[in-house]
Amino acid sequence: MKVFLRTKGFWIGFALMLVGLFALTVLPVVFGGGATKVAAVGGQAVDALRDKGFEVREVTDRAAAEELVRAEEVEAAVVSDGGVRVVALTDEPDEVLAALATAPPVDLLEPAEVNSGRRSAVIFVFALVFFMFGMGGAAIAQSTVTEKQTRIVEILVSTIPVRALLAGKIIGHTLLMLGQLLVLALAAPIALRLGDQGQLLAVVAPALGWFVPFLLFGFVLLAAMWAVTGSMVSRQEDLGSSMGLVVLLVMGPYFAVSFFSDNAAVLATLSYIPFSAAVAMPVRMFTGQAQAWEALLSLGLLACSVVVVVLLAARLYEGSLMRTGGKVALAKAWARQD
């Protein structure tokens, strides 16, 4: 942990995560543009357009309105000429026309607590956080290879058991992940309020409560696999050839949940698969598609999977850590304990 806390890469990566969090919530407000400017004749039209969120400039007659449109000081003008008419310069002002159109009333039988845009944003954030922390576990593999390459591992295993060394790596990196997650959790309410998304916080908070334990177990699952990945090779140059499976298990949930977020059946299946449950089940809890007992069942399955994978990883790690000279086959790493 001390080594990683001293590295610039760790702090730069964490700073980028914080900047990304604020950018995701604040930039849409900053660059979203102000209200559409419209000229209007008559108090009734002025009030109606203001109620729709437009910035309205009240003028006395059509000639004044057309002058503002030609000067491009407003995007359109709403005038009365035996009826309501819209004046624009070159193209039809779709936003103004949509605001003036009369839509039939809609009765929602099961109104959603959040709109589709916010729902997509939250799903994206959950998947992205899992992806970033999951890929951050590659540092475990890199540190393991460095220890093998520099022979430091021979000193380490002469003083502590190999399994204790593996446990230390997993626990240390998990604590670092939890520390970063805690800071992000404290910064998220500030970012949401700056981005005028305070209402979303109340809706997301329960799902965040589920996301943290799922992310914790999911990270431990991947951390054990990253450690084994690093122990299978002796040089940094060979690490890329052994980390393909873990990268796939990190990227798979990210893309699967993002692509199938609207498919309830697929999302339900993903929420019970250990490697994708860390993202899929919190998303289902956020969208109201799962009950609490389903989340507890999924979390239990994930915890059991963590125990099994860590035990398997410990055996492979112990069997491959002291082997040098090239990539270690899984069969050799496993057979050494027999």
> Percent of the chain, pLDDT > 90?
4
Side by side, the strands of the sheet bearing 84-88 are 55-59, 37-41, 76-80, 84-88
- pLDDT tens string 205-223: 777 788 888 888 988 888 8
d(CA 159, CA 221): 26
> Percent of the chain, pLDDT > 70?
86
Specify whether 286 is located in the same domain as 249: yes
Specify whether 152 is located in the same domain as 95: no
Residue 337 has pLDDT above 60, yes or no: no
Specify whether 151 is located in the same domain as 201: yes
Question: What pLDDT score was predicted for residue 336?
Answer: 59
Strand partners, 84: 80
- Average pLDDT score over residue span 145-165: 79
Question: What pLDDT score was predicted for residue 297?
Answer: 93
Q: Specify the 3-state DSSP secondary structure of 41.
A: strand
Residue 105 has pLDDT above 80, yes or no: no
To which H or E segment does residue 190 belong?
Answer: helix 162-194
d(CA 59, CA 249): 62
Residue 139 has pLDDT above 80, yes or no: yes
Specify whether 248 is located in the same domain as 298: yes
Question: What pLDDT score was predicted for residue 112?
Answer: 63
Specify whether 93 is located in the same domain as 160: no
Specify whether 141 is located in the same domain as 227: yes
3 part of a folded domain: no
30 part of a folded domain: no
Which band of pLDDT confidence, cut at 50, 70 and 90, is reported for residue 190? confident
Residue 228 burial by Cβ neighbours in a 10 Å radius (0-12, 13-18, 19+): buried
Tell me, what amino acid is at 323?
R
250 part of a folded domain: yes
Q: Which two tokens stand for residue 285?
A: 């809890």
Residues in the chain: 338
Specify whether 190 is located in the same domain as 72: no
Question: What pLDDT score was predicted for residue 296?
Answer: 92
Question: CA 161: distance to chain centroid?
Answer: 37
300 part of a folded domain: yes
- pLDDT tens string 166-176: 888 888 888 88
The residue out of 50, 71, 100 marking a domain boundary is: 100
CB burial of 59-70 (b: ≥16 within 10 Å; e: otherwise) equals: beebebbbebbe
For helices 138-149 and 152-159, give the axis angle rounded to 10 degrees.
100
Specify whether 184 is located in the same domain as 125: yes
The domain of 40 spans 36-100
Question: What pLDDT score was predicted for residue 31?
Answer: 63
Q: Specify the 3-state DSSP secondary structure of 103.
A: coil
Following DSSP, what letter does each residue of 269-314 receive, concatenated? HHTTSHHHHHHHHHHHHHHT-S-HHHHHHHHHHHHHHHHHHHHHHH
d(CA 178, CA 185): 10
Residue 84 has pLDDT above 60, yes or no: yes
Q: Specify the 3-state DSSP secondary structure of 56.
A: strand
Question: CA distances (Å), 314 to each of 177, 204, 276, 321, in order?
Answer: 21, 37, 22, 10
d(CA 332, CA 338): 10
d(CA 130, CA 302): 15
- pLDDT tens string 18-38: 787 777 777 766 665 566 788
To which H or E segment does residue 3 belong?
Answer: helix 2-6
Strand partners, 56: 38
Specify whether 71 is located in the same domain as 218: no
214 part of a folded domain: yes
| DSSP letter, residue 236 | G
| DSSP letter, residue 238 | G
More confident residue, 119 or 260: 260
Residue 165 has pLDDT above 60, yes or no: yes
Strand 84-88 with 76-80, pairing:
antiparallel
Specify whether 214 is located in the same domain as 319: yes
Specify whether 43 is located in the same domain as 175: no
6 part of a folded domain: no
Specify whether 152 is located in the same domain as 297: yes
Residue 73 has pLDDT above 80, yes or no: yes
- Average pLDDT score over residue span 303-316: 88
To which H or E segment does residue 158 belong?
Answer: helix 152-159
Number of domains in the chain: 2
- Average pLDDT score over residue span 1-15: 74
The overall average pLDDT reported for the chain is 79
- pLDDT tens string 243-301: 888 888 888 887 888 888 788 888 889 889 888 888 888 888 888 788 889 999 999 99
Question: What pLDDT score was predicted for residue 29?
Answer: 62
338 part of a folded domain: no
pTM, rounded to two decimals = 0.70
16 part of a folded domain: no
